[in-house]
Structure 1
Amino acid sequence: YRVCFSFLPCSTFYFVKKTRISCKSVHNRMWWRPTMPKHLPLPLGPWTPGCMDIMSGYGPNSTFFRLYYPSAFSNKENNASKWYKWSPHEKYIEGFAQLVNSWSSLIKLVVWFYGGEPMVPAMWEAQPLKHGKKFPVVIFSHGFGATRFISSTIGMELASWGYAVASIEHKDTSACATYYYNTEEDRNHDNRIWIPHKK
């Protein structure tokens, strides 16, 4: 893996892998199309947004953020097989539940009743747009009890118009949950050290 944006030092970052779903490409952007999974609002810009998680180094002082960027695909080439779930781990749901003094099982039940967790209509690790120019950069800092993916819709929309958006996930216990890896071996085996939210 390599980070190919000129504003990021390639040698100091690595990618956090994600699980994808299988679904047909999105050619018809109508919300009622039966082959399209439940999803957040589709971005309106000329490019399909790409997305990836990036963590710098190891340990609790490492930097963790979700990067949205314009991909090499037009908005009509948004491939739903590369979409991903809005919440990447149940620990985040548990953190949200703790924040509102509720049970995580209750929140999961509400999500299930609503129709399941929505997908994010950005292509995971898609090839970035190459047009010989630097992307204007936007940095998001989530609020108390939030996460790097809480502003997914805004991040995608800006990316679809040519912005690179870094949504930080803080490790100072202000996030509803977050994690880090102690070593490269831990990362390779996905042995996460979780940092819970503290009010």
Structure 2
Amino acid sequence: MKEDNSSEPSLPSTEDTKNGESGLFVRIYYPTDAQCLEYHNVWPTWSDNQYIGGLISFVQSALGSWPSWAPRNDYKYIDKLQRISPYIPQSIFPKLFKLMNGDVYIPIIPSSTLSRKKSWPLMVFSHGLGCAPFIYSRICYDIASFGFIVAAVEHRDGSACYTLPYVESSDSLRNSTGIPYRRLDTKDDEYMVRNEQVKYRSEEVKKTLDLLLDLNSGIVNFENIAIFKNNCKPKDKEFLSSFKNSMDTKNATVSGHSFGGATTLLSLAYDNRFRTGTVFDGWFFSLKNEHSSLFKRISQPVLFINNESFISDENIKMQSKFFEHNSNHKSYCIEGSVHQNHMDTPFLFKSMEKDTDLDTEIDRKKHLLKYFDPKDLSFIRLDKNDSSTIS
């Protein structure tokens, strides 16, 4: 197996952790020396039924009152979907999903031994509105395979499609009632709601970095509550202690998709432990009244990766102002790509592409999944001796 800085990735593993009283829930992807195909019998399922049910609940909410910021043209038959969706019971959708896709697994090894080839740089990943970390499994384990420890935080502010409650143990988790997606009422001020959520999310990102740094210091004051295939219970705190002295703590980056992009910018503005940021098709509505202050606070380089169908004049204007304050930022636009292409869902609903317009002009395997070539890695993983971006 080649080193992580080559064109060939290492193999990723994963671990779910929950942090004490805060209820922080994080999935951690990391490099391992184990051979993934040899452990296919323990690959975790893509998602539990509660999350898939939560996903249709979010879709129903969006179709019921189409967001002004969402690109309607990404879906050919949105009018028909709007008429049908209210009649799809949330409890039935997981069965429909299985009929369409069968059993879906993630090709990673739960609780595998962490590779010790080097100290790994860190990435905290923030999911989009109505999503959850499982929807971004491909991008997270791809990045981990190139030599990162990636912590995908599951936001508990009501912006996730579904999330788990705070519980004392993995046994309690089985019978617990989760936190659903928060549907907005007509009386709600959406900007106020989203602004409160993005601030909450930013705090969770900060706590996630705290958690990683604790792991690196050998402090394990949280529990591994993951339950994997065949009810395989997670390893104990001794396993989590194996992360001690495994991280390059001077190279921490924060990234996110859509609403997670706004979370990324706010996190950069108020936590200079993050050396860089990556925004995948950012949705910045929640920060529309705070742009000017963010421009001044963010000294770290930011990489913007935009999709052609989602990028708007407002987004271009905002990014242009960012460049006026810091020439180290970079921005790219993927032609022929749609907002959903950063997620796993276009791969899973491949049979529906022709009906939903998820069939884009790009080859996802060539263009979507390999953002991080050596040039991009050098941007995210700054040289240890370069302190010019620390404010």
Instruction: Please report the TM-score for the alignment, with normalisation by the length of structure 1.
Output: 0.67
* Superposed displacement of residue 193, structure 1: 4.2
Letter in structure 2 aligned against 1:48: L
Q: In 2, are the aligned partners of 1:47 and 1:73 still within 8 Å (CA)?
A: no
- Percent identity between matched residues is 32
Q: Secondary structure at the match of 1:128?
A: coil
Q: Which position in structure 2 is the counterpart of 1:95?
A: 54
Q: Give the distance between the partners of 1:181 and 1:187, measured in 2 at CA.
A: 10
Letter in structure 1 aligned against 2:51: Y
* Superposed displacement of residue 81, structure 1: 1.5
Q: Which position in structure 2 is the counterpart of 1:79?
A: 39
Q: Give the distance between the partners of 1:162 and 1:188, measured in 2 at CA.
A: 33
Pairing 1:1-199 to 2, within 5 Å after superposition = 45-58=8-21, 61-74=22-35, 78-87=38-47, 89-101=48-60, 102=85, 103=88, 104-105=90-91, 107-131=93-117, 133-183=118-168, 186-190=169-173, 191-199=175-183
- Listed one character per residue, the Cα deviations across residues 128-148 of structure 1 (whole Å, up to 9, x for unaligned) are 1012x3211111101111002
Give unpaired runs (5+ residues) of structure 2.
1-6, 61-84, 184-391
* Superposed displacement of residue 156, structure 1: 1.0
Q: Give the distance between the partners of 2:170 and 2:39, measured in 1 at CA.
A: 28
Q: Give the distance between the partners of 2:93 and 2:129, measured in 1 at CA.
A: 19
Letter in structure 2 aligned against 1:69: Y
Q: Give the distance between the partners of 2:154 and 2:53, measured in 1 at CA.
A: 16
Q: In 2, are the aligned partners of 1:78 and 1:122 still within 8 Å (CA)?
A: no
Higher strand share: 1
Q: Give the distance between the partners of 2:180 and 2:136, measured in 1 at CA.
A: 20
* Superposed displacement of residue 167, structure 1: 0.6
Q: In 2, are the aligned partners of 1:46 and 1:74 still within 8 Å (CA)?
A: no
Letter in structure 1 aligned against 2:152: S
How many residue pairs are counted as aligned between the two chains? 149
- Listed one character per residue, the Cα deviations across residues 166-197 of structure 1 (whole Å, up to 9, x for unaligned) are 111011011011113343xx444435341111
Q: Which position in structure 2 is the counterpart of 1:38?
A: none
- Listed one character per residue, the Cα deviations across residues 67-94 of structure 1 (whole Å, up to 9, x for unaligned) are 110012256x55202211000x211111
Q: In 2, are the aligned partners of 1:45 and 1:157 still within 8 Å (CA)?
A: no
- Listed one character per residue, the Cα deviations across residues 96-141 of structure 1 (whole Å, up to 9, x for unaligned) are 111111433553344233241310001111111012x321111110
Q: In 1, are the aligned partners of 2:49 and 2:94 still within 8 Å (CA)?
A: no
Q: Once superposed, what is the RMSD of the aligned Cα atoms?
A: 2.1
Q: Give the distance between the partners of 2:9 and 2:35, measured in 1 at CA.
A: 6
Higher relative contact order (CA 8 A, sep 6+): 1
Q: Give the distance between the partners of 1:91 and 1:157, measured in 2 at CA.
A: 25
Q: Secondary structure at the match of 1:94?
A: helix
Q: Extract structure 1 runs of 4+ deviating beyond 4 A.
A: none
